[in-house]
């Protein structure tokens, strides 16, 4: 296992914490001189805060640890290509290198929609590696969204049923229960 893979596994550990909370599973670690100085995972819905992305949390912790807003000579590992906010924070913090797992073709700003990390117009450019443990990172997201779709479908059905049963007046409900009993009886 390469060093990049080793740290991406640590980022995946963080992503699993997000998954356990029912959040989109994204995890991140920041490494300085072969030590992790910041960890983070997505908690946007749990914390009800846009800033609770994995990378922002990790940058916040790393800055506190380093006592500096500059995170020079640091490498950030993240399981999914960063969004526009996180890619921007990475450049602002002057992080030297970013290693990412999955790409995010619909919203990513580390090469998909934009490449904020390597723009020559800014005063800092980040070195970028893509596709480290991409399969594992993608798989975790795929499973999450598949389960989410099932959950959403079940919730929708439950809401529909609730709305339907609330519409039926009490008398009708009793009749309907009777009817259902009869139907069930007929089935046996």
Known catalytic membership, residue 55: yes
Position of tokens 């450049």? 91
Instruction: Provide the minimum distance between the beta carbon of 51 and a copy of itself in the complex, in angstroms, as a whole number.
Output: 6
109 binds a copy of itself (CB under 8 A): yes
Residues 119-158 that bind a copy of itself (CB under 8 A): 119, 121-123
Instruction: Provide the minimum distance between the beta carbon of 132 and a copy of itself in the complex, in angstroms, as a whole number.
Output: 23
Q: What CA–CA distance (Å, rounded) separates 91 from 73? A: 13
Contact 23, 46 (CB under 8 A): yes
Residues 24-83 that bind a copy of itself (CB under 8 A): 44-45, 47-53, 56, 59-60, 63-64, 67-71, 83
Determine the straight-line distance between the first and last CA of the chain, rounded to whole angstroms. Answer: 60
> How many helices and strands, by DSSP H and E, does the chain display?
6, 5
Is residue 49 classed exposed, middle or buried when 0-12, 13-18 and 19+ CB atoms within 10 A define those classes?
exposed
Of 10, 55, 72, 73, the catalytic one is 55
Residues that bind a copy of itself (CB under 8 A): 44-45, 47-53, 56, 59-60, 63-64, 67-71, 83-89, 91-93, 107, 109, 113-114, 116, 119, 121-123
């Amino acid at each position: 296992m390469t060093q990049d893979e080793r740290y991406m596994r640590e980022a995946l550990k963080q992503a699993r914490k997000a998954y356990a909370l029912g959040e989109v599973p994204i995890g991140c670690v920041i490494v300085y001189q072969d030590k992790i100085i910041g960890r983070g995972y997505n908690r946007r819905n749990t914390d009800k805060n846009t800033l609770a992305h994995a990378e922002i949390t990790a940058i916040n912790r790393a800055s506190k640890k380093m006592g500096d807003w500059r995170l020079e000579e640091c490498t950030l590992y993240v399981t999914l290509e960063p969004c526009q906010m996180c890619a921007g924070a990475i450049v602002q913090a002057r992080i030297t290198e970013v290693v990412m797992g999955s790409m995010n073709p619909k919203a990513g700003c580390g090469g998909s929609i934009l490449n904020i990390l390597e723009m020559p117009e800014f005063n800092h450019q980040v070195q970028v590696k893509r596709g480290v443990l991409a399969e594992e990172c993608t798989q975790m997201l795929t499973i999450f969204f598949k389960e989410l779709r099932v959950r959403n479908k079940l919730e929708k059905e439950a809401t529909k049923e609730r709305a339907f049963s609330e519409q039926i007046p009490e008398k009708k409900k009793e009749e309907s229960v009777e009817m259902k009993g009869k139907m069930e009886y007929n089935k046996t």
